[in-house]
Amino acid sequence: MIYKANIRKISSQLILIEDKIFYIDDENNFCIDGEIFLKGNYSISYSIKNKIALLDENNFKTILINAINNKIENLDYVLILLNHTNGIFLSNENNKWNIIRVIKKNSEIINNKFDLNLINKILDNNTFLSTKENNLSCHQLENAEELWKLDVSKLGEYLHLKGTEHEELRAGTVHEIYNYKTVLVALLRNDTIVGIDSATGDVLWQKPLFLFISRPVQLNDKLYHIVTGVDVKNMLQVYDLATGKLEREIEITHPVLKENTFFTKRFINDTYIALTATKTGEILVINHKTAIVEDYAKLPNLKEKIPIDNIPQVHQNKVYQLDGEGTLYIFEKEE
């Protein structure tokens, strides 16, 4: 059974937590399950576990929402990044914007000079990562002191691009960063994944992925990658983040993978990995333990290409997909 949920016109900011749908509507109100919860001018800054951070665009402050009980916490800061114990925020003091750290509501200024746009990720309770041009660097959280810097521009150049028409793109730039314990994994623009020691910045290993359209996704200590395309064998590959070792490679046989090249980023949970063809709106839900396509759905009357960040979401017996026009489709298994 398929049904279409016309939950107003929503933006691409869609979060699903515990069977509740959180989103920003076309008038910038914050909504929960089809009802306006906060009326105003909001955007979703960040979410982790059961916390959602909203940016109040009018007052330039952050509101934290507890997704379980809908409790609101108003902060006099603007959220930049968040992990389980720390947040990096902006604070306006005497008309000067500072980066501050917040730990259990206690705050301190950590730096007022570092370029906010270069902060990529809080790594742990003490450090954060930054990307600038071809460099990946690690910094102390308390004072932004640089601990190490890695030039990724030459990494992967010996791989699959050399001698092709795309050789000029072989210079690496950081596209995505994954981490597990002491190992960072950087996905470079040339579709190379590189394992990096988070303490020293030393390169531990590097591996090629499929050319230009890689969208790997992390689950615990593994990186899952689906090879898609017309002229290639469609595969599910599973890499160990610590070693870069290809642990499993299983062929996936489905016409959607064979007939499409461009897909959204991947959704993953303990059982399934899901992706959507951006041009045709066809959704595949794949059991990543068996590489078997267990569910298939297609958005009807798709008029606009689906953005790659509109990731399908699988929860219990439902699949959620947001199209390119701001309409949410919910597909439910027939019992």
Tens of pLDDT along the chain (335 residues)? Answer: 344 555 556 666 788 887 788 888 888 899 988 889 999 899 887 777 788 888 888 887 788 888 889 998 887 666 555 554 555 555 555 444 455 555 545 555 555 555 655 667 777 767 888 888 788 999 887 677 889 999 988 787 545 555 555 555 555 688 889 989 899 999 887 778 899 999 999 999 988 876 556 789 999 999 999 988 777 788 899 999 999 999 999 999 899 988 887 899 999 999 999 999 999 999 999 999 999 999 999 988 888 899 988 999 898 888 989 888 888 888 887 65
Q: What is the pLDDT of residue 96?
A: 46
| pTM, rounded to two decimals | 0.81
Alpha carbons 335 and 204: distance in angstroms, whole number:
48
Q: Which token pair is 91? A: 């604070």
Q: Which token pair is 110? A: 């950590």
Phi, psi for 118 (deg, rounded to 5): -95, -10
- The size of the chain, in residues, is 335
Residues 6+ apart with CB under 8 A from 145: 139
Q: Which token pair is 178? A: 């994954």
Q: What is the pLDDT of residue 1?
A: 39
Q: Which token pair is 283? A: 């959704």
SS3 304: coil
Contact assessment for residue 259 and residue 269, using Cβ atoms and an 8 Å cutoff: no
Q: Find, among 217, 225, 284, the residue nearest to 254 by Cα.
A: 284
Q: What is the pLDDT of residue 137?
A: 92
Q: What is the pLDDT of residue 95?
A: 45
Q: What is the pLDDT of residue 114?
A: 57
